[in-house]
Amino acid sequence: MLTDALKDEISSAYKTLLKQRSLTPRWGQRLMIADVAKALARVDSEAEGSAIAVVEAGTGTGKTIAYTVAALPIARAKEKKLVVATATVALQEQFFGKDLPDILAHSDLDFSYALAKGRRRYLCLSKLDQQLAAGKNSELPFYDQLGQSGSEPDADAVFQDMLNALGRGEWDGDRDAWPAALSDEFWQGITTDHNQCSGRRCPNISQCSFFKARDGLNLADVIVTNHDLVLADLALGGGAVLPPPQDTIYIFDEGHHLPSKALSHFSGFCRLHSTVQWLQDCQTTLSQTAKSLEKLPGLQGELSQPPQYIEAAIDDLQNVQVLVQELMGDPAVKEVRDGRQLRFELGLIPDELQIIGKALLSHFSHLELGFDAVHKLLEKALEEKHSERDLIEQHAMNYGAMLARAQANVALWSQYAVSGEDDPQVMARWITEREWDNALSYDLNASPVIAANILQQCLWQEAAGVVMTSATLSALGTFARFIRDSGVPEDAIFDIVPSPFDYASAVFSVPPMPCEPTDAEAHTAAIIDLLPKILDPTQGSLVLFSSRRQMRDVFAGVDGRLGEHVYVQDSNSKQELLRLHKKAIDDGSGSVIFGLASFAEGVDLPGNYCTHVVIAKLPFAVPDSPLEAALVEWVENGGGNAFMEVSVPDAAVRLVQAAGRLLRTETDTGRVTLLDRRVVTRRYGKAILQSLPPFTLELAR
């Protein structure tokens, strides 16, 4: 239960904000405030149910106001940090740079806030110093050093500019705040990660950009970050960068992305040829370390252990290469976009690969221990006074990077050292064949199929409280799909709050079509014939495709018949296409964008920028990704109907997302046209139509 004082604080903050901003209260927003408050009232209490709210709220609800006004007073009263995580940088920047300052200025809430980024977004001063010295005198290259000077001819000048800007206080070391674009390759040589960072032992700790920013988090009531940083922190046990989960109330905006992002954080990967090259480089590094730091007490003994395991690992990786070449002759191998792929049915590993996998797990486990021992010895040496301190620090960074890669290999080979029959969670395992330097290379992958177990262990059971919100958390009117994928407890508070938009004034149309999309060639021809008839060349339109090939064929087929301004994805960056489209509309012309899935979500074209959304077909996913195929296999193996339990709900969510590009403000109107009669003729179509917002329907029978 909330105290009366807390209820009054939330109510007062909301009323004050509405009054000062001249906003009218929205019913969906008020319901969301109540849902969030009710769930978070359970934090550190004996009340029944989890302190978790799962709230679906569409564009226009005012989600950020609702969850901030409700959660912040409760977090402070319960002495918890409020961490707000978004899935995209754009929303993160909007919330930190616009929404939070606005709430602070116009409500009677008094709070502080800070932006949290990972180490790799910040400059490492030690690496910058070493890069500046590298051209003059460097005994040892950085382990993950840029292939630098060739790709960045003015690198030294940029390094010096950075040092000068830091000294003048004109730059804080944040990559995003540097005035010029920096390539990933360039930045890699002057940033660091958890394993390479020497932390409080570093001589530059007092000037460290990352630790300055991190120390600022301790003073903030609200921390703004992204899903990836939260997941990375939770993967390290929590509290590594962000506050510990038990002291934190998390809000995940765009929360429907969290399960898939969690899978990517807990998956394993090994590229055979580059891993062999890396191991050979490790041999060189070990020799250089032994030579350049020969007088460091205890070091030679630690350096003597890894070489035998490196040789053994190289031999067995080459054995894997030979075995995989044989396996790729299997009829189950599929052609994929950038190579050939073999997915192991039910995640089961062949005996011969499992045997080598066990050996490689042993080799890399020994290397992990060996590199860790050297790394710790070097870090300990940094605490003491040594004339070769800079060299020791450089070696320590190298062994930190080597340790991280050894750990990644342990994670991968632990998934190939087992049969897969007794997996504690459903796993997908697959191999992809690619061309690399005019030769064949193989990538081995392993990933959980669903994130439920992961999130149960590191988030739901650990966090003080959690709020999940998005416009698409439900599918076909229920949260069953999200519960399956995320593992969110069923005693959480679930709600779908109403939108303020006037959907009845907009039309969802399914015109007569001569064929179904299953006849791809005829369907493409029908779209080419129909688009010039239904699109107004004087207005703003968005045409969404599920197939890149169909998009390109239709674009070529309608050439010259849709007006002067027709833009197709891949011809420019997404941002540039949207800019050109908006400029054409602002100049009084019409404009049409042809796009794929990335234009069906997160694209904001309010008012005249988009009055017609055309969707080529129901957005069923082709299960060509190993994870999607493994999920289908898992459902069917358990006696379920994968089409009705996976494909239809997923398509319904994607259709809602695509149709959601039409209405972006309360005054918007227009039309959504679906060029797929299956939504009318197939038995599953009714459920999909019922999952849409309440458009006025025009359905050809």
Distances (CA, A) of 478 to 130, 269, 645, 652, 690: 56, 35, 12, 12, 12
* CB contact at 8 A, 32 and 57: yes
φ and ψ at residue 508, rounded to 5 degrees: -110, 115
Instruction: Identify the structural domains of the chain with CATH numbers, from first to last.
Output: 4-111+221-254+471-497 (3.40.50), 119-136+153-213 (no CATH), 274-449 (no CATH), 503-699 (3.40.50.300)
Alpha-carbon distance of 178 to 181, in angstroms, equals 7
φ and ψ at residue 44, rounded to 5 degrees: 55, 35
- Give the three-state DSSP class for 113: strand
**Beta strands per DSSP E along 569-632:** 591-595, 612-615
* CB contact at 8 A, 183 and 151: yes
* CB contact at 8 A, 378 and 286: no
φ and ψ at residue 351, rounded to 5 degrees: -55, -45
Closest CA to 535 of 392, 692, 673: 673
Number of neighbours of residue 402 by Cβ within 10 angstroms: 28
* Residue whose tokens read 């109907």: 641
Contacts for 50 with CB less than 8 Å, ≥ 6 apart:
39, 42, 460, 489, 491, 492
Closest CA to 407 of 457, 442, 367, 373: 367
- Torsion sign over Cα 59, 61, 65, 71: negative
**Beta strands per DSSP E along 353-501:** 427-436, 439-448, 465-470, 493-496
Q: What is the pLDDT of residue 135?
A: 56
* CB contact at 8 A, 699 and 662: no
In this structure, which long-range contacts are made by residues 529-537, counting pairs with CB atoms below 8 Å and at least 24 apart in sequence?
530/675, 531/558, 531/561, 531/562, 531/614, 532/558, 532/561, 532/562, 534/612, 534/614, 534/673, 535/562, 535/592, 535/612, 535/614, 536/590, 536/611, 536/612, 537/562, 537/563, 537/564, 537/590, 537/592
Sheet containing strand 334-336, edge to edge, reads 268-271, 439-448, 427-436, 339-343, 334-336
Q: What is the pLDDT of residue 141?
A: 43
| Token representation of residue 128 | 């910058």
- Torsion sign over Cα 543, 545, 548, 551: negative
* CB contact at 8 A, 679 and 689: yes
Q: What is the pLDDT of residues 495-535, one digit of tens each?
A: 999 999 999 999 999 999 999 999 999 999 999 999 999 99
* CB contact at 8 A, 256 and 473: yes
| Token representation of residue 28 | 């969906």
Closest CA to 563 of 591, 586, 541: 591
Alpha-carbon distance of 372 to 296, in angstroms, equals 16
Strand partners, 269: 445
Positions of the chain with pLDDT under 70 = 135-153, 337-338, 623
- Give the three-state DSSP class for 694: coil
Alpha-carbon distance of 346 to 429, in angstroms, equals 8
Q: What is the pLDDT of residue 655?
A: 98
Q: What is the pLDDT of residue 330?
A: 79
Closest CA to 372 of 278, 305, 311, 272: 305
Contacts for 433 with CB less than 8 Å, ≥ 6 apart:
324, 328, 333, 339, 340, 341, 342, 440, 441, 442
* CB contact at 8 A, 614 and 534: yes
Q: What is the pLDDT of residue 128?
A: 93
- What one-character-per-residue DSSP string does 142-154 give? -TT--SHHHH-TT
Pairing assessment for the beta strands 612-615 and 248-253 based on DSSP bridges: unpaired
Helices (H), 383-519: 389-413, 452-455, 480-486
**Whole-structure pTM value:** 0.91
Alpha-carbon distance of 353 to 489, in angstroms, equals 38
Q: What is the pLDDT of residue 1?
A: 81
Pairing assessment for the beta strands 696-699 and 507-510 based on DSSP bridges: parallel
**DSSP summary character for residue 434:** E
- What one-character-per-residue DSSP string does 35-77 give? HHHHHHTTTTS--SS-SEEEEE--TTS-HHHHHHHHHHHHHHH
Closest CA to 604 of 125, 189, 174, 58: 58
Alpha-carbon distance of 600 to 546, in angstroms, equals 10
